[in-house]
Amino acid sequence: MQVVIRSTKADASWLVAHMVASAIRENPSIVLGLATGRTMERVYEKLVQMHKEEDLDFSLARTFNLDEYIGLQPDNVNSYRYYMNHHLFDHINIDKRNTFLPDGMAEDLGVECGHYEKMIKKLGGIDLQLLGIGRAGHIGFNEPLSALQSRTRDKSLTPMTISENSGEFANPADMPRRAITMGVGTILEAKRLLVLVTGGTKAEILAKAVEGPITSMVSATAIQLHGNVQVVASDSAATLLTGREYYDWIFDNEPEWAEYR
């Protein structure tokens, strides 16, 4: 795992966007795993800008999102399909037929989850998975006690997650209590993980995820098991990291980071 700390949220988001763009340019047919939430909005804004100003080409890319609420129609403003269209897909040259999210309206959720797993495998697996970390320590909607080998499935959300996300709804009481999410095991099968964490409210959970013991109580700690992980954090989110000096040294000295310095 490599940890890179940038001075501001904007700088951290800029770096992640450029890393995603580099991966797309290297492999135009890339299979991207995408995340939602306020943390990702700046990343998608920057990718849209690079598409318009630098001809960043998404025409051959395929995408899979981590999760979707159960019970929301795709055109509901709070669905993750709507979020992705609004923040990214409507503004780039991607073929929406190649953009996949779980179907939160499926009659049989078990069948839908199995189908999602099969689709990922059919396209050769996810090349680069973008992740955020929730305050409960979840990646996707893998809440505490999610098995580290779990697969795509429907999950009940914790009160903390509901509190964290319900502010996005005009009526917070309308937020669904359940969602479909890729499993921790599904996420760990991606060839590369790119994690973005910003803001002082995430400092404690970031320290647990990166430097704490691996535990199903904090599903984000599972990223420690992956062989190709880059974590990008804002300075405010990195205040509790004990290895800060070493992380900064790696970024300042390793050749692979030269293009981003």
Q: What is the pLDDT of residues 4-30, one digit of tens each?
A: 999 999 999 999 999 999 999 999 999
Residue 53: is its pLDDT beyond 90?
yes
pTM tops 0.85: yes
Q: Token pair of 86, please?
A: 């609004």
- Mean pLDDT, residues 217-239 taken together: 98
Domain residues for the domain of 229 are 2-260
Nearest to 44 by CA among 96, 92, 102: 92
Q: Token pair of 9, please?
A: 């949220």
3-state class (DSSP) for residue 1: coil
127 Cβ contact list (under 8 Å, min separation 6): 23, 27, 30, 31, 32, 190, 191, 192
Instruction: Look up the CATH number of the domain holding residue 92.
Output: 3.40.50.1360
Residue 95: is its pLDDT beyond 90?
yes
Q: How confident is the model at residue 180 (pLDDT cuts 50, 70, 90)?
A: very high
Element holding 89 (H helix, E strand): none
Residue 168 pLDDT: 92
Q: How confident is the model at residue 186 (pLDDT cuts 50, 70, 90)?
A: very high
Query: Burial code of 138-151, b = ≥16 C-beta within 10 A, e = fewer?
Result: bbbbbbeebebebb
Tally of structural domains, the chain: 1
Strand arrangement of the beta sheet that strand 153-156 belongs to: 67-69, 178-181, 153-156
Residue 132: is its pLDDT beyond 90?
yes
Measured in degrees and rounded to the nearest 5, phi and psi for residue 106 equal -60, 140
| Average pLDDT score over the chain | 97
Higher pLDDT, 209 or 136: 209
Helix, strand, coil tally for the chain in percent (to 5): 45, 15, 40
d(CA 256, CA 159): 41
3-state class (DSSP) for residue 150: coil
Q: How confident is the model at residue 261 (pLDDT cuts 50, 70, 90)?
A: confident
Q: E strands along 62-143, which residues?
A: 62-65, 67-69, 99-100, 128-131
Percent of the chain, pLDDT > 70? Answer: 100
Nearest to 141 by CA among 182, 103, 100, 197: 182
- Mean pLDDT, residues 31-45 taken together: 97
